[in-house]
Structure 1
Amino acid sequence: GGIFGHVETYFATTETNGRGMLHVHGLMFFEGNLNSAELREQLMSDTHLQSTLITFVESLVKNEVDETLTMPVTAEAALGLPHMRISQTDDPDQFREELYRLSNLVAISRNMHTHNATCYKYNRGKDGKCRFNAPWQLNPESTINEDGILHLKRLHPMINNWNPFIAATMKCNHDISFIPTNSKFLALMYYITDYATK
């Protein structure tokens, strides 16, 4: 098991950005994973599989935050995040509550998209839109369309996809996605291998 369930294999590469900060690009493949065509075909006819997939992906990928939590969202306040931790408790309800609070605070301070020069790096003189497409379109609930493609619930227009366990343990900016189509998978593989072979 683990936070992602049963992972059959993974691929990751580490690189530095322009400021020398290390970061990882990676892919995980789950045990029993269907190829995207088989998955889409089954999703179009199996409502139980639809519900199971939505529940699974929503448990791993969040794109909403609880902004009622009290902590100033400034770089200075975020410096205190590395010292925050979940208490060692045998009470599962207390653990879930602390995980929820800490992971949301991290996501608010680390995963909130703000436009900067990187957003327009390849758009100079063009349409002036963010290359990451933020703000993202809201979606009140996760759905699977008539083509068997999952469209994940999104309740905040400016939060990058995040995972509660990564947020609470690593306390850093991260992005996590479910890749439901061959075209998205191939684009991501190209992106990652391009970095790996720089």
Structure 2
Amino acid sequence: MPDRDGKCVHDILIEWGADMFATEIKKCGEMLQHHHCQPVCHKYGNVDRCRFLFPHEVVDASYFDPESNAIVLVCRDGTMNYFNPYILVFCQHNHDLKCILSGKGVKAAMFYISDYITKMDVKTCEMLSLLSCSGSFA
């Protein structure tokens, strides 16, 4: 998609070159993706640990873990959110990407997104547990 000057991402990448793009990734990553624990990180009984699971485990190379059925991504800095370099540089906004393959991961993501969007006092998982325990209404 072209920007205001009529250039698309491909044109900008060619103009910049690999070195400049790498510099932009580093600059944006440090500015936008670096996690610093705040009081919000310790809500809901997470007194001694960050509820966003920081710091991440440092992983030298990506791999597939058959036991958990998960793709474990390379992580060289445990305080950085997982990100897509193109989204990071061209949108200039923080984000957190995760590969979700298991039912457990999908369920956790669904609960998080539902709670985040609705901002309800009752959490989605609590509401669903009430529905599943509620017996027949017939």
* Range into which the TM-score falls when normalised by the shorter chain: 0.5 to 0.7
For this pair of structures, how many residues does the alignment match? 111
Matches for 1:19-58 after TM superposition, within 5 Å: none
| CA shift for structure 1 position 154 | 0.9
1:139 maps to 2:59: yes
Q: Compared with structure 1, are the counterparts of its residues 183 and 101 closer, same or farther at alpha carbon in structure 2 (3 Å cutoff)?
A: same
Larger radius of gyration: 2
Q: Please tell me whether the aligned partners of residues 41 and 51 of structure 2 are also in contact (alpha carbons under 8 angstroms).
A: yes
CA distance in 1, matches of 2:13, 2:57: 39
1:115 maps to 2:40: no
Higher strand share: 1
CA distance in 2, matches of 1:102, 1:181: 33
Q: Please tell me whether the aligned partners of residues 13 and 21 of structure 2 are also in contact (alpha carbons under 8 angstroms).
A: no
| CA shift for structure 1 position 196 | 3.2
- Select the residue among 43, 48, 53 that pairs with 1:128: 48
Question: Secondary structure of 1:175's partner?
Answer: coil
- Give RMSD over aligned pairs: 2.6
Matches for 1:47-196 after TM superposition, within 5 Å: 88=11, 91=14, 94-123=16-45, 127-147=47-67, 148-196=69-117
Q: Compared with structure 1, are the counterparts of its residues 183 and 142 closer, same or farther at alpha carbon in structure 2 (3 Å cutoff)?
A: same
CA distance in 2, matches of 1:174, 1:190: 18
Post-superposition, which runs of at least 4 consecutive aligned residues in structure 1 deviate over 3 A? Answer: 88-92, 195-198
Q: Compute the TM-score of the two structures, normalised by the length of structure 2.
A: 0.67
Q: Please tell me whether the aligned partners of residues 135 and 158 of structure 1 are also in contact (alpha carbons under 8 angstroms).
A: yes
Q: Percent same amino acid at aligned positions?
A: 24
Q: Which amino acid aligns with 2:49?
A: K
Structure scoring higher RCO (CA < 8 A, sep ≥ 6) equals 1
Higher helix share: 2
Question: Secondary structure of 1:144's partner?
Answer: strand
List alignment gaps of at least 5 residues for structure 1. 3-85
CA distance in 1, matches of 2:74, 2:13: 31
Q: Which amino acid aligns with 2:39?
A: A
List alignment gaps of at least 5 residues for structure 2. 2-8, 120-138
| CA shift for structure 1 position 89 | 5.1
